[in-house]
Amino acid sequence: SKIKQGLLPSLEDLLFYTIAEGQEKIPVHKFITALKSTGLRTSDPRLKECMDMLRLTLQTTSDGVMLDKDLFKKCVQSNIVLLTQAFRRKFVIPDFMSFTSHIDELYESAKKQSGGKVADYIPQLAKFSPDLWGVSLCTVDGQRHSVGDTKVPFCLQSCVKPLKYAIAVNDLGTEYVHRYVGKEPSGLRFNKLFLNEDDRPHNPMVNAGAIVITSLIKQGANNAEKFDYVMQFMNKMAGNEYVGFSNATFQSERESGDRNFAIGYYLKEKKCFPEGTDMVAILDFYFQLCSIEVTCESASVMAATLANGGFCPITGERVLSPEAVRNTLSLMHSCGMYDFSGQFAFHVGLPAKSGVAGGILLVVPNVMGLMCWSPPLDKMGNSVKGIHFCHDLVSLCNFHNYDNLRHFAKKLDPRREGGDQRVKSVINLLFAAYTGDVSALRRFALSGMDMEQRDYDSRTALHVAAAEGHVDVVKFLLEACKVNPFPKDR
C-alpha cells in the first residue's frame, strides 16, 4: 500500500509532526503536556498500552526522555485512534484549556459564597469542614478537569437515588418499576409520609420512592449479594475509580432513621412492596446505599455515564440501557433537587440530584457530567456553593435545556468548533482496523458495535486489517468478535 512505501504519511507520522513542531525528536514531557491539554489523563484506561510503552521506553533508552519518530510510533500505535481524535480537536469540547479556565473562574466565584449549615443530624456529616469545596467534570469523550477538594471521599446520600433507579429500570424495565412508584414531583418535603392517589410513592427521588426502588433490586438475593451487585454497578459507572462505603455513616443512619422506619411500615401497610419483601432488611439495604462513598472525581464519571447514554466514557463499556438513562434524567430534571426542583429546572434546566452530604450530581446530556461538593446546605438541603456554581455555569454556557443553540449567540458554546459531527461508526471501525488500533476495536466491541459493518464497497474491518497485514487485529476480530471469516466485498 502507499503508506508502506512512504508516499502517504501514516497517522502516527502526522501525530509526530503535529507535536514535534519541526524538531527531530519529541521530549516525553512535551508529549504528556500536549496530551493533558486535550483533557485526557495519562491514567485513562483507553491509553494504557501507550503509557505502558512510554514507561518501558523510558527505562530502556539511554536517551532517556527524547522520542524519535520510530520510538514515538511504537508508543502511540496501539491507541492511535483516540490520540488522533484528541489532537485533531475532535472531542466534544475542542478547546478544553479555555473551557477549564472558565470553570476555574466559576469555582472561585462560588467559593466566596458563605452561609448555609453543614448537616449535623449524624456526627459523620457534622465533622466535615464547611470550607471544603470541589468540582470535577468528565466529558462524554473522557476529558477530565478537577478543581478544589476533589479527592476527599464523602457519602452519596440522596445522590444515590437516581443511580439505583437507573439500575432498577436497566434490570427490570420501565413498565415494571413504575407499577410500584410514580413519576410526578410531589411538591412536598422529601421525607414526608405521603403517597399519591394510587397509594404509591410519588417518584423515586423522595425517600418513600427510593425505599420502594431499593426493594426491587435483585429480589430474592440476600443483602450481602445485593450490596455487592450495586457496588459492582457503581464501579462500572465510575470507570473503576473510587467507590467506597462508610460503615460509621451506615450505623448512624440506621440508629437515627426513625422517620424512614415510619415510612417503611406505612409502605408495608399500604402493600407498596413486592410480595414477600422483608421490610426491615430493605431499610438496612437502603441505609447502606446512602452510605456509599465517592469523590468528586469518581462521581463525575458516573454523571458522565448518564450524559453519554449509559456508556462509561473512560472504559467505553455499556453500563445502562438507553431507556434507564432517559428515565433517570427526566426524573432528575423534575424531582432531583428536593423542594427547589421547580426553581432549579427553571433557572438551570439540567438534570441534577443533591444529597445531604453536600454533593450535587449534574448532567449535561451528550456533553458531560459534573459533581460539585461543599457541605454547607441551604434551607432546602442543597449545597450553597454547588447551587451557585450550577447557576453560573448555565449563565456562561448554553447548556440550559431550552437554550436554543442557534439563537442564543451571547452565551459561550464550548462544543462549537469545525462543526463536523462525529463520523459514522463504520468509518471509525474501518479506520481502527486500517491503523491496527486493537484497543479502539476492543472499545467498539465493548460498546456493542456491529463489528461486521460494511462500507460503500462492502468492505469489512476484517478485509481492511488483513490487507494491511495487522495480524493482531485479524485475530481479535476472528477470535474475540467471532466475525464471519468469509465476507465478500465488491
Has residue 154 been placed in a domain? yes
Does residue 408 form part of some domain? Answer: no
Q: Is residue 405 part of a domain?
A: no
Q: Is residue 369 within 8 Å of residue 307, measured between CB atoms?
A: yes
> Does residue 44 sit in the same domain as residue 111?
no
- From 88, 111, 133, give the residue that closes a domain: 88
Give the model's pLDDT for residue 90: 87
Distance CA 457, CA 468 (A): 17
Spatial distance between the Cα atoms of 68 and 448, rounded to a whole number of angstroms: 37
> In angstroms, rounded to a whole number, what is the distance separating the alpha carbons of residues 53 and 306?
32
Claim to verify: residue 105 and residue 83 sit in the same structural domain? no
The domain of 457 spans 418-480
Q: Are residues 84 and 108 in the same domain?
A: no
Domain identity same for 288 and 170: yes
Query: Is residue 175 domain-shared with residue 34, that is, in the same domain?
Result: no
Q: Residues 207, 142: one domain?
A: yes
Residues 419 and 292 sit within 8 Å (Cβ to Cβ): no
Q: Would residue 338 count as lying in a domain? A: yes
DSSP letter for each residue of 342-392: HHHHHHT-S-EEE-TTSEEEEEETTTEEEEEE-SEE-TTS-BHHHHHHHHH
Contact 132, 374 (CB under 8 A): yes
CATH number at residue 321: 3.40.710.10
Asked whether residue 486 is domain-assigned, the answer is no
Digits of tens for pLDDT over the chain (490 positions)? 554 554 555 788 878 887 887 789 999 999 999 999 999 999 999 999 999 999 998 888 766 689 999 999 999 999 999 998 898 888 999 999 999 999 999 999 999 999 999 999 999 999 999 999 999 999 999 999 999 999 999 999 999 999 999 999 999 999 999 999 999 887 666 667 789 999 999 999 999 999 999 999 999 999 999 999 999 999 999 999 999 999 999 999 999 999 999 999 999 999 999 999 999 999 999 999 999 999 999 999 999 999 999 999 999 999 999 999 999 999 999 998 878 788 998 899 999 999 999 999 999 999 999 999 999 999 999 999 999 999 999 999 888 887 765 555 567 888 765 433 334 678 889 989 999 988 888 778 767 788 999 888 889 999 999 999 999 999 989 988 889 999 998 8
* Contact predicate 157/290, CB 8 Å: yes
d(CA 62, CA 66): 10
Q: What is the predicted pLDDT for the residue at 211?
A: 98
Q: Is 346 exposed, middle or buried (0-12, 13-18, 19+ CB in 10 A)?
A: exposed
Residue 403 located in a structural domain:
no
In a domain, 82, yes or no: yes
In a domain, 487, yes or no: no
β 359-364/352-354 pair status = antiparallel
Q: What is the domain count for the chain?
A: 3
**39 and 147 both lie in a single domain:** no
Of 346, 364, 396, the domain-final residue = 396
Distances (CA, A) of 269 to 148, 199, 266, 286: 47, 10, 5, 18
Of the residues 88, 107, 122, which one is the last residue of a structural domain?
Answer: 88
On whether both 147 and 217 belong to a single domain, the answer is: yes
**Residue 291: its pLDDT value, please?**
99
76 and 103 within one domain? no
The contacts of residue 178 (CB under 8 Å, 6+ apart) are: none
Q: What single letter denotes the amino acid at residue 55?
A: R
Contact 169, 295 (CB under 8 A): no
Is 174 in the same domain as 247? yes
Both 126 and 250 in one domain: the answer is: yes
Residues 154 and 69 in one domain: no
Contact 77, 436 (CB under 8 A): yes
Return the sign of the alpha-carbon dihedral for residues 268, 274, 279, 284.
Answer: negative
Q: Which of 218, 356, 215 is nearest to 284 (CA)?
A: 215
- 34: domain CATH number is 1.10.238.210
